[in-house]
Structure 1
Amino acid sequence: MSVSTLASFEYLERLPERDQSLSLLSRLHIVTITAPSRDDPQKVSLTKNFRASLRLALTGGGEQQSFGIPSHDSTASGVDAEFLDNYARERWEDILHFVVNSVGNSMRQDGTGPPTSVRLLLEAGKLVTTGRRSGGGITQAGFSFLLQEVNAQVWALLLLWIENAEKMELESVEVLSFLFMLGSLELGKSYSTATLSASQRAMLKYLVDFGLVYSPSSTPQQFFPTRLSTTLTSDASGLRSVSAGFDDALKSESGTKGFIIIETNYRLYAYTNSPLQIAVLALFTKMGVRYPNMVTGRVTRKSVANAISHGITSDQIISYLRAHAHPQLVKAAAVNGNPVLPPTVVDQIRLWQIENERMKATAGFLFKEFETQKEYEGCARYADENGVLVWKNDAKRMFFVTRHEQLRDYLKSRKARNDSQ
């Protein structure tokens, strides 16, 4: 293809960006660019090796097996698309319940919860916190995670997994390659683990925890991709609710309808029976009566302050209420030319956040200038576990506590232990 033809594409009209991209592709030996001459125009073409590898990847040929190897063993009984959808839904809702921290010990009402590997990953990604300083629970990043569509939530979790791959003794490049392979598999079909490398088999265990893959205990030599993995490379969008949005991700139906009505007196009515949606509302709402298909509540200063204490912002609360507004509320607003949410409610939620952002004085002690990162982390963790930690800055290795006696004794015993070694 000539460079002039390439330049005619609308998204490649800007010269600096186009030239920079072509230069990068050339340095990576993905394309070759001929020298301009009077007789022949300057041309761009794929290099021979890249072209051959791309063809194999697109057709599933070669040794890479980019479309997986179907299993020829007898399929486990009862494993069909409906079973895989239910399995993936249960796994993913376990994760969302843990983020919301809706039930005691971060578990669902049936006593289950996400595996330890998933919990540690969510904590590493700062979607949830642990410790006595804040009581644990959801963070600002965690609430933003809930506001995303399901496909974006899955990728957010997978990106955290990739970032922490080295700690799990996995190669980031191989992890990413395996994920793209999963995106090309077919829902409801079984695939063989015989051709997978040892590291890919290790990856499967994590993907089972995420709900992206199902591996029958009776036939461990095969695995089934769920709809969460087969749609990894799709461009599905608009699934903005927490559990109802997930239902739509598992079906071919249109987007989810809203379910929340809020009045100027801060009374809230939610037409849902989903424990997960109710748990999300409870993060910033004082819940009232629960009916078979509806719950009532009120947005109060205390409930908003509680949400803000976990890092949730007023804008996030407003965005959630607006995104899940009942269709009748949206219709009435459109007819009358009014905003979907009552302006008095929106303004008051923002004012309550401002109230909580006022400066507060706390008597205490500042610890800083630690010799090593390990020493700082150990002391900060000890202070948090004892409930005296008020503030910390990991970058500057300093923290502020309300009492110092226990921490002083801890530092002395730590120093004595190090000296004896």
Structure 2
Amino acid sequence: MATTTGNLKCKNLHGFLKSLLPATLTKLYSHPATCLAVFRELPLLSRHYIMRLLFVEQPIPQAVISSWVSQNVIKQKFEAVESLCELHIWNEAPTPGGLPGWLLNPTFRKNIKIALVGGGQTWEVCAPLDKDKKTRDIQFLDSYAMDRWECVLHFMVGSQQSHEGISADAVRILLQAGLMRNEETETNPLITTDGFQFLLMDTSTQVWYFMLHYLETVESRGLHLVECLTFLFQLSFLTLGKDYSTEGMTESLLIFLQHLREVGLVYQRKRRSGRFYPTRLAINLASGLKDNSLDVHRPGYILVETNYRVYAYTDSQLQVALLGLFCELIYR
């Protein structure tokens, strides 16, 4: 299911991928990281079918596949088959005897096999690197990621920190996503109703929603959607606190890396540094994990009196700015 807050819908990985053309999906499935990321997001029964068909290179009758599980789970069987069809992981094909059958997408089968049982070329980002003389620990990366992401949120609420660190590119995504709008009488964009709903989401959902709209603009930027998506999936398998080399990256990927850097998904000391650190925001993005340890909604208290006075107890500058959108701040 897609995450929904009011009228704002955030498609999950499955929902996004099924909106892509079959040819685009097949290109994505040419990389083991993509196949594994998709595999772990599938319903349990879909994964069961894939494992049973992993080494089978000819169509299997649909009736035979249906008999592999109890007839009491009709709903689960329908969802499993629908998921595999929507993502073009398998396709209908006649068996040698002429019966309707299912056949795994050969590109997907080849690369999920590599991801699960090994073989083929190394598919992780693991070019050898000398030890970083200015290594960054997990605590630093967590702090950096949220500082960068909060720049986006501060801009949305129009706080004093609103122009510190946010790029023009990120502002364009906010406008394109309908989270902010330009007004002729205003110097800066204003937050929209969808933008208010966006601010109330947990951090991982916010980042995913933002990246979905970014990916919709990838090709208009001259970047390659499949290349960028594949790299995002690779990031979800990397180790937090470890640095990785940019050696061998195309110019398109290096530009994409800078866009990720701007919103806190990766850390680079310098723009042309030969190494980068993935942050928790990137690793959790397509990993299927619901890790809210970096959630910007920090603990605090709000008291509302019958005379409509509001008292807030928080040390978050962002939460104070958010309250300022709904209340007149008299004193702090």
Q: TM-score, normalised by structure 1?
A: 0.56
* More off after superposition, 262-271 vs 217-226: 217-226
- 1:356 corresponds in structure 2 to none
User: What is the rounded CA distance, in whole Å, between the counterparts of 1:138 and 1:16 in structure 2?
Assistant: 41
Q: Is the 8 A contact 2:284 2:291 kept in 1?
A: no
User: What is the rounded CA distance, in whole Å, between the counterparts of 2:154 and 2:91 in structure 1?
Assistant: 47
- 1:260 corresponds in structure 2 to 302
Counterpart amino acid of 1:88?
A
- 2:319 corresponds in structure 1 to 277
Q: Choose between structure 1 and 2 for higher RCO, CA contacts under 8 A separated by at least 6 residues.
A: 2
Aligned-CA RMSD value: 3.4
User: What is the rounded CA distance, in whole Å, between the counterparts of 1:116 and 1:60 in structure 2?
Assistant: 43
Q: Deviations over 1:381-410 (max 9, x none)?
A: xxxxxxxxxxxxxxxxxxxxxxxxxxxxxx
Alignment counterpart, residue 248 of structure 2, candidates 195, 207, 210: 195
Q: Deviations over 1:253-304 (max 9, x none)?
A: xxx54521112221111111211100000001011221xxxxxxxxxxxxxx
Q: Which 5+ residue runs of structure 1 have no aligned equivalent?
A: 248-255, 291-421
Q: Structure 2 matches for 1:70-149, cutoff 5 A? A: 70-103=127-160, 106-107=162-163, 112-133=164-185, 136-149=189-202
Residue 134 of structure 1 deviates from its aligned partner by 5.5
Indicate yes or no: 2:261 matched with 1:208.
yes
Q: Deviations over 1:146-182 (max 9, x none)?
A: 1111001111111111011122111222222211111
Residue aligned with 1:283, SS: helix
Q: Deviations over 1:112-151 (max 9, x none)?
A: 2312221222222222223334663211121111111100
- 2:125 corresponds in structure 1 to 68
- Kindly tell me the number of residue pairs found equivalent between the two proteins: 269
Counterpart amino acid of 1:30?
W
Q: Is the 8 A contact 1:76 1:218 kept in 2?
A: no
Q: Is the 8 A contact 1:260 1:268 kept in 2?
A: yes
Indicate yes or no: 2:232 matched with 1:179.
yes
Alignment counterpart, residue 8 of structure 1, candidates 46, 51, 70: 70
User: What is the rounded CA distance, in whole Å, between the counterparts of 1:154 and 1:130 in structure 2?
Assistant: 22
**Taking every aligned residue pair, what percent have the same amino acid on both sides?**
36
User: What is the rounded CA distance, in whole Å, between the counterparts of 1:236 and 1:91 in structure 2?
Assistant: 21
Counterpart amino acid of 2:196?
F
User: What is the rounded CA distance, in whole Å, between the counterparts of 1:153 and 1:9 in structure 2?
Assistant: 40
Residue aligned with 1:270, SS: strand
Q: Is the 8 A contact 1:260 1:269 kept in 2?
A: yes
Q: Cα distance 1:103–1:195, how it changes in 2: closer, same or farther (>3 A)? A: same
Residue 200 of structure 1 deviates from its aligned partner by 1.4
Structure showing greater Rg: 1
Counterpart amino acid of 2:221?
M
Q: Is the 8 A contact 1:261 1:270 kept in 2?
A: yes
Residue 226 of structure 1 deviates from its aligned partner by 0.7
Q: Which 5+ residue runs of structure 2 have no aligned equivalent?
A: 1-51, 53-63
Counterpart amino acid of 1:221?
G
Q: TM-score, normalised by structure 2?
A: 0.69
